[in-house]
Amino acid sequence: MLAGIPNWNSSNSNNYLYTRQNYWTISPYWFNDGFALVFVVYSNGSLDGGYVYVPIGVRPVINIRADVALTGSGTVLDPFKVVGAD
């Protein structure tokens, strides 16, 4: 929801999670009987959640403070680095 998706299961391509691909975020939204249910972003930009049992992509989601920056290009030889954090 913080990514700009107004509500569950609503198509939305105007958020930073939208990639035109289905993927799990790894971020849990509920725990049930020892199992985590995680967020899934569908190819149309909608947000849902469920048990991880369907083989689709994975994209971890992290949140950083507004007063820090990222350097690097995200490759193996030039990984992203968070700079400016205390």
* Among candidate residues 6, 53, 65, the one with its CA nearest the CA of residue 40: 53
Q: How many helices (H) and strands (E) does the chain have?
A: 0, 6
Task: Among 2-11, 30-39, 56-65, name the one with the lowest average pLDDT.
Answer: 2-11
Confidence (pLDDT) at 74:
79
How many Cβ atoms sit within 10 Å of the Cβ of residue 39? 21
Does 41 have pLDDT greater than 60? yes
More confident residue, 1 or 46: 46
- Sheet of strand 35-41, all strands in order from the earlier edge strand to the far edge: 47-50, 35-41, 23-32, 57-58
Residue 21 has pLDDT above 80, yes or no: yes
pTM score, two decimals?
0.56
For the CA atoms of the chain, what is the radius of gyration? Answer: 15
